[in-house]
């Protein structure tokens, strides 16, 4: 391997021999990580909301580069899940859904993310769910859903200024648009991400997007120095997936498009041999399948037919479950050439047919991605056109409004005096009508007894009580309830009952004078408010009302009935100047009157239970 070979640095043992300082740095970092791990494990548990928030953000940051640490952190969070806030519970659910997706159970992860999105209302968690759903839809080949979800995610960013949320959204956009074949958009969002947070990890994402475009665009020359730069950034950030993926694509392109000289074949041989231990123990099945396809092609170039066939068949096994991939085409092409070299034309034809089917499927997928992207794009254009139309209509209406206002202003200048007089007249009429409507509303009369209804009574009684309170004058309230009135209705009919109610009120009205208020509270129950009377005057007045009811002549009703009434009385000197308390205490006294035999007056006494 020559020192100037840009790909030789990925032979890690050789790299450490050439860069001993790097090995020291890695050992130092491992020591730091070990120390931090010990400190973290020494903590009793996550006890306060802030420590839980910080732990979730830490796990979110390492979910790609340190999945073992990520999984361990989720186990620790599970111990305090019951004490999490609603926001933390949603954030924790997102991390668990991501772990489920990493294990390959995409459908369960999608179901969990959708349930969380329906339950979680915070925009930061909603963006996380939509970003995850976009990624999963793209990985599953649901390109329409992927386009819709990532478009929704980007639009949702307008509702938040949270940097971490934006990083997650832009990371998802870079990845999803790369899968959808929109390489330029992938580069765009990678650049936004790096400008927002210029970390080594985001540098890796940016260079990955750029070089992935270079490596898969047959019209561009591969800038090898940028590929190397990308891989260095990805290795430094711990993103082994991106580093290995780009390296595999770079080697794949060289093997496919270049007439390799013996020197370059030797360089690639050393690189492949150096990478073999690292790839074989890696966690990524797709990378292992790519590497096996590369080894098959390289063996074929070296004339090692048996090894080429073995590696190609290993590629088919590793590609199981990964669908239609470039490494599958690569392996089938190798197997076709191996079969031809062995004069196995039927087998060669079968491999060729299979390769054609895979290429057609990949082409169909490419068109489906493009169609999904264009569908969402056209939908957005339609929405923008509709918004433009509405904005134009709004502008026309605003102009019309301004012209109308200007005309009105000109007219007002001419007839200002007339409008002022008319305005004063209208204002006066409005106040007169409002006062009239007010008194009409509060003076509603019971249609049967022609006394105040409860609503009107409460209005006037409250005003009267307030005035009596301001001058500390006495005021009394009596509740009158006709005794056994139900028997009257049952035995003589409701017409007679109505006659009794009206004539009882008429008899009482003859004794009422001054500011005394009488009202029908409901049914056979009435209320009398007597202001300005002392105790003896009040008692005599109520007793007179009771006698007037008892001596009521009922002959004109066509029946010979005797009507009596019970009275419960309360006073402001005991119940205060409160209508509610006066009514409550009078009702208590009325209950005592009923209990003691009816047809009597009972004054409320707080000492009597």
pLDDT tens string 338-368: 888 889 889 888 889 988 988 888 777 677 6
Q: What is the pLDDT of residue 180?
A: 81
Looking only at Cα atoms, what is the longest distance across the chain? 136
DSSP string, 20-48: HHHHHHHHHHHHHHHHHHHHHHHS----S
- Range with lowest mean pLDDT among 12-16, 59-63, 246-250, 261-265: 12-16
Strand partners, 445: 452
83 alpha-carbon distance from chain centroid: 21
Cα atoms in the 13 Å half-sphere on the side-chain side of 334: 34
Neighbours of 4 (CB within 10 A): 7
Q: What is the pLDDT of residue 454?
A: 92
* 478, pLDDT greater than 70: yes
Provide the 3-class DSSP secondary structure of residue 564.
Answer: coil
Cβ 299 vs Cβ 311: under 8 Å: yes
Query: Which of 195, 149, 196, 197 is closest to 173 using CA atoms?
Result: 149
pTM: 0.46
Cα(417)–Cα(157) distance, rounded to whole angstroms? Answer: 56
Q: How confident is the model at residue 465 (pLDDT cuts 50, 70, 90)?
A: very high
Q: Which two tokens stand for residue 143?
A: 């390109």
Cβ 133 vs Cβ 114: under 8 Å: yes
Strand order from edge to edge, sheet including 565-571: 517-522, 525-531, 475-482, 565-571, 601-603
The alpha carbon dihedral of 533, 513, 452, 468 has a sign of negative
Q: What is the pLDDT of residue 383?
A: 54
* 529: CB partners within 8 A, 6+ apart: 461, 464, 465, 475, 476, 477, 516, 517, 518
- Range with lowest mean pLDDT among 4-13, 88-97, 410-419, 527-536: 4-13
- pLDDT tens digits, 240-292: 777 777 777 777 777 776 577 777 777 777 778 777 887 777 777 778 888 88
Query: Which of 527, 534, 518 is closest to 583 using CA atoms?
Result: 527
* 19: CB partners within 8 A, 6+ apart: none
Q: What is the pLDDT of residue 232?
A: 67
211 alpha-carbon distance from chain centroid: 37
* 107, pLDDT greater than 90: no
Cα(446)–Cα(525) distance, rounded to whole angstroms? Answer: 13
Q: What is the pLDDT of residue 389?
A: 62
Q: Which two tokens stand for residue 576?
A: 């205060």
Find the length of the chain. Answer: 609
């Amino acid at each position: 391997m020559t020192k100037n070979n840009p790909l030789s640095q990925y032979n890690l043992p050789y790299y450490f021999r050439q860069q001993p300082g790097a090995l020291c740095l890695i050992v130092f970092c491992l020591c730091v990580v070990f120390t931090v791990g010990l400190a973290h494990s020494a903590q009793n548990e996550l006890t306060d909301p802030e420590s839980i928030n910080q732990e979730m953000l830490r796990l979110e940051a390492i979910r790609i580069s340190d999945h073992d640490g990520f999984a361990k952190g989720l186990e620790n969070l599970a111990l305090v899940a019951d004490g999490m806030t609603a926001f933390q519970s949603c954030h924790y659910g997102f991390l668990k859904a991501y772990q489920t997706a990493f294990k390959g159970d995409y459908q369960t992860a999608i179901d969990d993310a959708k349930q969380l999105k329906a339950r979680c209302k915070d925009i930061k968690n909603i963006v996380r769910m939509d970003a995850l759903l976009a990624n999963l839809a793209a990985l599953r080949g649901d390109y329409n859903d992927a386009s819709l979800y990532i478009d929704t995610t980007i639009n949702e960013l307008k509702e938040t200024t949270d940097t971490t949320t934006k990083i997650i959204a832009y990371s998802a956009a870079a990845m999803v648009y790369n899968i959808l074949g929109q390489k330029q958009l992938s580069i765009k969002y990678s650049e936004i991400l790096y400008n927002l947070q210029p970390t080594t990890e985001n540098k890796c994402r940016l260079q990955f997007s750029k070089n992935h475009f270079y490596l898969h665009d047959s019209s561009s020359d591969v800038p090898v120095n940028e590929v190397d730069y990308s891989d260095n950034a990805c290795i430094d950030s711990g993103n082994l997936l991106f580093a290995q993926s780009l390296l595999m694509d770079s080697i794949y392109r060289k093997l496919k498009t270049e007439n390799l000289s013996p020197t370059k074949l030797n360089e690639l041989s050393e690189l492949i041999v150096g990478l073999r231990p690292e790839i074989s123990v890696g966690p990524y099945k797709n990378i292992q399948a790519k590497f096996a396809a590369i080894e098959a092609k390289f063996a074929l170039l070296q004339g090692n037919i048996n090894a080429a066939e073995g590696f190609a068949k290993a590629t088919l096994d590793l590609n199981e479950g990964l669908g239609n991939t470039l490494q599958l085409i690569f392996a089938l092409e190798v197997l076709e050439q191996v079969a031809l070299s062995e004069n196995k034309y039927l087998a060669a034809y079968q491999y060729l047919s299979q390769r054609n089917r895979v290429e057609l499927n990949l082409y169909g997928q490419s068109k489906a991605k493009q169609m999904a992207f264009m569908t969402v794009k056209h939908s957005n254009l339609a929405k923008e056109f509709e918004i433009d139309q509405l904005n134009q209509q709004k502008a026309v209406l605003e102009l019309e409004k301004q012209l109308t206002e200007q005309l009105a202003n000109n007219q007002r200048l001419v007839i200002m005096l007339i409008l002022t007089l008319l305005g004063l007249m209208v204002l006066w009429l409005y106040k007169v009508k409002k006062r009239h409507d007010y008194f009409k509303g509060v003076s509603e009369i019971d249609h049967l007894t022609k006394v105040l209804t409860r609503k009107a009574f409460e209005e006037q009684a409250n005003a009267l009580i307030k005035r009596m309170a301001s001058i500390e004058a006495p005021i009394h309230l009596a509740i009158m309830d006709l005794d056994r009135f139900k028997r009257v209705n049952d035995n003589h009919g409701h017409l007679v009952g109505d006659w009794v109610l009206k004539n009882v009120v008429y008899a009482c009205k003859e004794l009422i004078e001054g500011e005394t208020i009488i009202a029908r509270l409901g049914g056979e129950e009435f209320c009398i408010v007597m202001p300005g009377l002392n105790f003896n005057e009040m008692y005599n007045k109520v007793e007179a009302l009771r006698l007037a009811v008892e001596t009521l002549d009922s002959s004109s009703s066509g029946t010979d009935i005797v009507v009596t009434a019970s009275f419960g009385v309360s006073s402001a000197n005991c119940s205060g100047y409160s209508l509610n308390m006066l009514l409550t205490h009078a009702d208590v006294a009325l209950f005592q009157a009923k209990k003691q035999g009816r047809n009597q007056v009972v004054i409320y006494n707080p000492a009597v239970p």
